[in-house]
Amino acid sequence: MDTFIIKGGVPLYGEVAISGAKNAVLPILAATLLTSEPCVIRRVPNLSDVHFMGRILRSLGASFSYENGMVAVHANRIKARGDYDLIRKMRGSICILGPLLARKGKANVSMPGGCIIGTRPIDLHLKGLKALSAEVKVREGYVQVEAKQLKGTEVFLGGRVGPTVLGTANIMMAATLAEGVTIIESAACEPEIVDLAHFLIAMGAKIQGAGTPRMTITGVNKLHGAEHDVIPDRIEAATYAIAAAATNGEVTLKDMRCDHLAAVLDKLKEAGVQFEAKGTSLKILSGGNIQPVDVSTQPYTGFPTDAQAQLMALMLKAPGLSIITERIFESRFMHANELARLGADIAIEGPSAIVRGGMPLSGAKVMASDLRASAALVIAGLMCEGRTQVNRIYHLDRGYEVMDKKLRSLGARVKRGKES
């Protein structure tokens, strides 16, 4: 297994280009199943999750090719039953359920399990599909959905902690080919949902209100092939912005959307990070004294759960107490114990992590537990005196395009090696 070996203590300096958004591209790739015509997606990050989704599409009968950030998919003839073991390995693949059902009139997809960050139920996905008049069963580990003709409806998709991102994606994709009008109330407002809506509209779908809690989809008979450029990855941007601040560096992030990062930038400002946002670039300036902040994760436009771990790493630098409350996933603090190996003082109290910052940090061997936890450990490694080894880097490769190369281009001493 690959590992990162980091020699910390070097401020990051220079420019880094932000890649296309993983969480936008996965549902967009699933949406290509809605048409028998070819689709072309550009600005696709070269990530293991993207290639995994490619394998899933191929296993359903579609052709999928990736070259230099461009994906061509042609789902001419597809089957409705997904490969059990393949699909269950990637939670994000649940978003093939809606498009398969809409295109084939039925779908069989393995029931996704929980994961390290929480239980991750799909009750809201199933509620939405039932509302569209699908029959839903869970049998032998599969979710089986069937509907000769989906029917437009009004459905409330808010859950325990608010809207669901992939649940909204599934229902909006299914509704594009339903008969009549579907209104999703409490729809997720994430930029990735808006990007998916843009792709679906380019395919001929009729969607209004994407990016607001009330989305209206008027079903059409058929969707056609389309081309699309994926939005920049706001979480990758947040990660590099935080890494720059954590090393007291000066880094310009290019090709990004500052408007997608309002909550993160607001928190960084409160923490004393200085920056200049101009058009599609964001320059993090050195010299800010990092102050403790309190933050709660929320659905968009609030502070994203996917940047919580990285902010926690930054708070290790802030003398005093920061309270970081995780409101989206119940066990997304696995990084706290690993950060403790580097000298961090973090107490977990229910959904909150109380971070006492300003402690000396020194490098150690740590283990990544999920994608964003890995990013936090890398940031902390960059802040540490000495050598940090971050094991199980395959988690990071799921969602960060060539992070080691990008960090090296900013002057970081990061090497990819094999776990010993």
Q: Which of residues 116-175 bind ligand EPU (CB under 6 A)?
A: 118, 120-125, 159-161, 164-167
CB of 162 to ligand EPU, least distance (A): 7
Q: Which of 19, 23, 32, 391 binds ligand EPU (CB under 6 A)?
A: 23
Map residues 56-95 to x or -, x wherever contact with ligand EPU holds by CB under 6 A. Answer: ------------------------------------x---
Nearest approach, Cβ of residue 21 and ligand EPU (Å) = 9
How many chain residues touch ligand EPU (CB under 6 A)? Answer: 24
CB of 349 to ligand EPU, least distance (A): 19
Min CB(271)–ligand EPU separation in Å: 22
Amino acid in position 250? E
Among 16, 18, 25, 26, binds ligand EPU (CB under 6 A): 26
The site map against ligand EPU for 277-306 (x = CB under 6 A) is ----------------------------xx
Site string for ligand EPU, 215-234 (x = CB under 6 A): --------------------
Task: For residue 257, report the phi and psi dihedrals to the nearest 5 degrees.
Answer: -115, 105
Residue placing its CB nearer to ligand EPU in the complex, 164 or 186: 164
51 lines the binding site for ligand EPU (CB under 6 A): no
Q: Which residues, 171 to 210, sit near ligand EPU by CB under 6 A?
A: none
Alpha-carbon gap, residue 58 to 17, rounded angstroms: 30
Nearest approach in angstroms of CB 396 to ligand EPU is 11
Residue 262 to residue 17: CA distance in whole angstroms: 19
CB closer to ligand EPU, 120 vs 408: 120
* Residues 321/355, Cβ–Cβ less than 8 Å: yes
Which one, 74 or 91, has the nearer CB to ligand EPU? 91
Comparing CB distances to ligand EPU, the nearer of 15 and 123 is: 123
Residues 310-349 that bind ligand EPU (CB under 6 A): 328-329
Rule CB under 6 A: say whether 378 interacts with ligand EPU: no
3: Cα separation from own chain's centroid: 22
Given the complex with ligand EPU, which of 102 and 328 has the nearer CB atom? Answer: 328
CB 119 to ligand EPU: min, Å: 6
CB of 386 to ligand EPU, least distance (A): 28
Of 9 and 159, which CB lies nearer to ligand EPU in the complex structure? 159
Q: Which one is catalytic: 115, 189, 258, 384?
A: 115
Closest alpha carbon to 346 in 388, 308, 305: 308
Nearest to 294 by CA among 327, 254, 321: 321
Q: How far is the CB of 94 from ligand EPU (least distance, A)?
A: 7
| Residue 158: both structure tokens together | 């808010």
Contact yes or no for 391/366 (Cβ under 8 A): yes
If binding is defined by CB under 6 A, does position 371 make contact with ligand EPU? yes
Q: Indicate the residue among 143 and 207 with the shorter CB distance to ligand EPU.
A: 143
Kindly report the number of other CB atoms within 10 A of residue 370's CB atom.
21
> Is 115 part of the annotated catalytic residue set?
yes
> The tokens 């960059």 sit on which residue?
382
Kindly report whether the peptide bond that precedes residue 301 is cis, defined as omega within 30 degrees of 0: yes
Residues numbered 380-409 forming contacts with ligand EPU, rule: CB under 6 A: 399
Closest CA to 189 of 227, 221, 157: 157
- The residue (of 157 and 314) whose beta carbon lies closer to ligand EPU is 157
The single residue among 372, 392, 395, 406 that binds ligand EPU, judged by CB under 6 A, is 372
Residue ranges in contact with ligand EPU by CB under 6 A: 23, 26, 92, 118, 120-125, 159-161, 164-167, 305-306, 328-329, 371-372, 399
What are the residue numbers of the active site? 115
